[in-house]
Amino acid sequence: MTEKKYGVFSLPVIVAALGYFVDIYDLLLFTIVKKPSMLAVGATDATMLSDSTRVINWQMVGLLLGGILWGVLGDKKGRLKVLFGSIILYSMANFATGFVQTVNQYAICRFIGGLGLAGELGAGITLVSELLPKNKRGLGTSMVAGIGLSGAIFAYLTFQYTNDWRLCYKIGGGLGIALLLLRVSVAESGMFKEVKAQEVTRGNFFMLFNNGPRLKKYVCAILIGLPTWYVIGILVNQSDRFGKAMFGSTTIDSGRAIMFAYAAIAVGDMFVGLVSQYFKSRKKALLLYYLLCIVSLILFFSGYNRSDASMYTISALLGFSTGFWAIFITMGAEQFGTNLRATAATTIPNMVRGALPLTNILFLDVFQKSWGWPLVKSGIVTGVVVMGIALVAYYFTEDTYHKDLNYVES
């Protein structure tokens, strides 16, 4: 069943890529429309930071909880049912967001949206990984991530064209419904069908914790992805504040920086599949991107970053260097048996997203508020901590390039 005639440009891959496109559009839209939308629901300049942080934190908590919910359901009920359910939930949440009037209503809608969005990527990557032969898995998942991540660019351009944040959310809901119609013609994974017919435990989230080697794999699979949201959630998202602190700029648009970063991430994710194919190794490709990320971080905090143009350029470099999302999630899916694969592949990326508030606590509450460090020093030390953790986890992670996925966890 694993060697079915599915190619990199087959319908399941294309539909999974479009699903991730909508996922990223919705996930990044708040960051892009943050200021006008928050002011419209009652926030002020004085409360902007605390109110917007509350909304994004609720969205991230939704992603964290949703990752567990949809991951378990993906192994119990099937990959496709999760994709259908998650699309319906986040499409409804997006439509509702277009009508919110208070900060609390905004936070509730983004929490529900986060719950729905959490199921999209993991189930899609799991389905593609199981339908494609092992020599094409990396290319297929890279295509999913590359096309999907361009959703951030579309979100930015949509807001620039419409200048109506409420309409942007409604458009996101409409894209979800259109995607739902496309999904009807996609086949379920043959591996899942085989496992479903067996007497084996499926989708038991606690199986990830009740076995030492399996727990080690799971924790490492999460930690190797930490640099992605440090780069996007802290450096690029707050590029306007870093620009002001480092060279006195007051004209950097963090939304524009995010667009440049995600355009580069999309290219990086397309390219990482080819790099993995060339090396015939997931780990070698990941290490190359880690090294590029370290160089880009040095440039970000160096004397070369002294203008708006350099900030946008380095944001793009940072984006490209963290364009290993596809390989990171593919490795997560490949390390676990079919009866636990959707649970792992769906929770792993959402655990990384959910770790952003913890990274923010280190960066903002510990280093800046408690220890009194300036913004730039806090950013540098946070980066050293995050990259150090990721490199240690990388060392203990197995290479899954040649791994046969047709097996179960006991």
Query: What is the model's pLDDT at position 186?
Result: 66
Mean pLDDT in residue range 207-218: 93
204 or 293: which leads in pLDDT: 293
- Range of 25-39, 222-236, 329-343, 348-362 with top mean pLDDT: 222-236
Nearest to 217 by CA among 314, 297, 337: 337
Q: What's the pTM?
A: 0.84
Q: What is the 3-state secondary structure (H, E, C) of 84-120?
A: HHHHHHHHHHHHHHCCCCCHHHHHHHHHHHHHHHHHH
DSSP 187: P
Specify whether the backbone of 222 is left (phi greater than 0), alpha (psi in -120 to 50) or beta.
Answer: alpha
Specify whether the backbone of 201 is left (phi greater than 0), alpha (psi in -120 to 50) or beta.
Answer: beta
DSSP 398: P
**Cβ proximity of 72 and 343 under 8 Å:** yes
pLDDT, tens digit, 9 for 90 and up, residues 274-307: 898 889 999 999 999 999 999 999 999 999 999 9
Determine whether 135 is exposed, middle or buried from the number of CB atoms within 10 Å of its CB (0-12, 13-18, 19+). Answer: exposed
By percentage, how much of the chain surpasses pLDDT 70? 94
pLDDT at 152 over 90: no
Lowest mean pLDDT among 108-122, 123-137, 153-167, 369-383: 123-137
Give the orientation angle of helix 254-279 with respect to helix 11-40, to 10 degrees. Answer: 160
Average pLDDT over the chain, rounded to an integer: 88
Query: What is the model's pLDDT at position 189?
Result: 54
Query: What is the model's pLDDT at position 1?
Result: 38
Lowest mean pLDDT among 159-173, 363-377, 395-409: 395-409
Q: How confident is the model at residue 158 (pLDDT cuts 50, 70, 90)?
A: very high
Mean pLDDT in residue range 192-209: 75
Query: What is the model's pLDDT at position 2?
Result: 40
Query: What is the model's pLDDT at position 245?
Result: 93
Backbone angles phi, psi at 337, to 5 degrees: -65, 165
pLDDT, tens digit, 9 for 90 and up, residues 259-282: 899 889 988 988 888 898 889 999
Spatial separation of the C-alpha atoms in residues 39 and 105, rounded to whole Å: 14
**Cβ proximity of 146 and 266 under 8 Å:** yes
The DSSP string of 13-53 is HHHHHHHHHHHHHHHHHHHHHHHHHHHHTT--TTTHHHHHH
**Cβ proximity of 335 and 400 under 8 Å:** yes
Query: What is the model's pLDDT at position 338?
Result: 82
CATH number of the domain located at residue range(s) 11-184+199-395 in this protein = 1.20.1250.20
Lowest mean pLDDT among 96-105, 168-177, 189-198: 189-198
Backbone angles phi, psi at 254, to 5 degrees: -65, -30
pLDDT, tens digit, 9 for 90 and up, residues 22-80: 888 988 899 889 889 999 999 998 888 778 878 988 998 898 899 899 888 888 887 77
Mean pLDDT in residue range 117-136: 79
